[in-house]
Amino acid sequence: MASWVFSECGLKPFPTIYTQHRTGLGCTNKNKPTKIRFLRENVDSCLLRSSRGRNWGLRVSAPITFETFNEEDNVGDKVYGSNGVPEEDEFDPGAAPPFNLSDIRAAIPKHCFVKNAWRSMSYVVRDIFVVFGLATMAAHFNNWFVWPLYWFAQGTMFWALFVLGHDCGHGSFSNNSKLNSVVGHLLHSSILVPYHGWRISHRTHHQNHGHVENDESWHPVPKRIFNLMDDTGKRFRFTLPFPMLAYPFYLWIRSPGKKGSHYDPNSDLFFPSERKDVITSTVCWTAMAALLVGLCFVAGPVQMLKLYGIPYWIFVMWLDFVTYLHHHGHDDKLPWYRGKEWTYLRGGLTTLDRDYGWINNIHHDIGTHVVHHLFPQIPHYHLIEATEAAKPVFGKYYREAEKSGPLPFHLLGILIKSFKQDHYVSDTGDVVYYQADPKLSGIQK
């Protein structure tokens, strides 16, 4: 199934169609003078260090430089309707915004960038306590009324552990890189995620978000590649629940069109200076896998399947569900960029906030995603305040999240609709939108 899900072309190898830009710095328009600014706050000073250095704690961040736009930069940008007549008053989500990254940062209170290691650790202690408490109760009662409730609850808690490890990878957990590494390894290894391998590829995602070719995960397929896919490949790629089970395979073989593995220190994903980090994470992952095998001999494979195996796959579905909806499924199509049109800011503005009801607190407000993508240094417990402060600057570029009930059942319909409509993007153009294949749209009916 892995090759079907990730090759996007059935069992055929997925051709490489671009060169990956490892630095993540966007192209600027050579026909127009570019204004360069540096982020001067202390929290961003780490960005001036080499991306190949050993101080990796805060490297998932905004690029060192970025293109800025004034109101005059958008003069002449027009939106054309189906009749070819300019629609002056219609909002164009693909147009360059009339604000820059510094404007957003200035609107966010400075304390939102401050990390409190003790507060971060309190969430770790809370989540670990809940995980062991749930497992103890499920094993004690051991009946088929309790197990389904346990699987959903424990799978959700595994997802919460991942989010805290995700904060460690961004450096938003604390200012201590060693603490981030230790906690990140403990949390991610416990749910079979190679911490450094994932951290580095996730850094690539943040540095290239919204770029058709260079984004790391859930990036679109150009039409010419889509047309090469056989029916089986399309069904596994666009038919639920298969895409929601993709994460473990992504860790092994990466995204379509990209070579390498998160476990291999020689993978194209990593710089030579990161080799020891990747080996460390792979060793930790292997140790956890060995522990689980040992527990199967002690408690029995069926009991371990119920206690750990099924919750693990619930966690995988949470991860794929949440990360996909951060970048897909809005009623108004979201732009994807190529070439000179892509900038760090414009790519970040294509992300979406989502409301998960009661789950918001459990998974540490990861649904508050737009500000997180632009400023991943902000701790999760400041994201809501930072977003509220930034909304006046965002204007129409911020898409208000639809309010959820206690559980986010409304997002299931959005997910299904997106997989029916978001199939490929045009082979040409620097600002493109998802298009639907008429035949594929009927596959899930």
Q: How far apart are CA 345 and CA 343, in angstroms?
A: 5
Q: How far apart are CA 18 and CA 347, in angstroms?
A: 18
pLDDT over 50 at 75, yes or no: no
What pLDDT, on the 0 to 100 scale, is given for residue 257? 65
pLDDT over 50 at 50, yes or no: no
Residue type at 127 in one-letter notation? D
Q: Are 259 and 19 in contact (CB under 8 A)?
A: no
The percent of residues above 90 in pLDDT, for the chain, comes to: 67
In tens, the pLDDT along 96-144 reads 999 999 999 999 999 999 999 999 999 999 999 999 999 999 999 999 9
Beta bridge partners of 425: 222
Cis amide bond preceding 256, omega within 30: no
What pLDDT, on the 0 to 100 scale, is given for residue 376? 96
The DSSP 8-state label assigned to residue 221 in this structure reads P
pLDDT over 60 at 55, yes or no: no
236 to 75, 230, 233, 445: CA distances (angstroms): 44, 10, 5, 15
What pLDDT, on the 0 to 100 scale, is given for residue 253? 85
Q: Are 317 and 240 in contact (CB under 8 A)?
A: no
Residue 46 structure tokens: 């780490």
Residue 297 structure tokens: 């001999």
pLDDT over 80 at 354, yes or no: yes
Name the pTM for this structure: 0.80
The DSSP 8-state label assigned to residue 307 in this structure reads I
pLDDT over 50 at 397, yes or no: yes
Q: How far apart are CA 193 and CA 288, in angstroms?
A: 10
In tens, the pLDDT along 86-106 reads 455 688 999 999 999 999 999
In tens, the pLDDT along 184-223 reads 999 999 999 999 999 999 999 999 999 998 888 888 889 9
Q: What is the mean pLDDT of residues 393-411?
A: 95
In tens, the pLDDT along 212-268 reads 988 888 888 899 888 888 888 788 888 899 999 999 999 998 776 677 899 999 988
What pLDDT, on the 0 to 100 scale, is given for residue 304? 97
**Half-sphere exposure of 165 toward its Cβ, with a 13 Å CA cutoff?**
29
What pLDDT, on the 0 to 100 scale, is given for residue 4? 41
In sequence order, what are the residues at sequence separation of 6 or more whose Cβ sits closer than 8 angstroms to the Cβ of residue 172? 115, 376, 377, 378, 379, 380
Q: How far apart are CA 311 and CA 289, in angstroms?
A: 15
What pLDDT, on the 0 to 100 scale, is given for residue 178? 96
What pLDDT, on the 0 to 100 scale, is given for residue 74? 37
Residue 27, sorted as left (phi over 0), alpha (psi -120 to 50) or beta, turns out to be beta
Residue 156 structure tokens: 């959700």
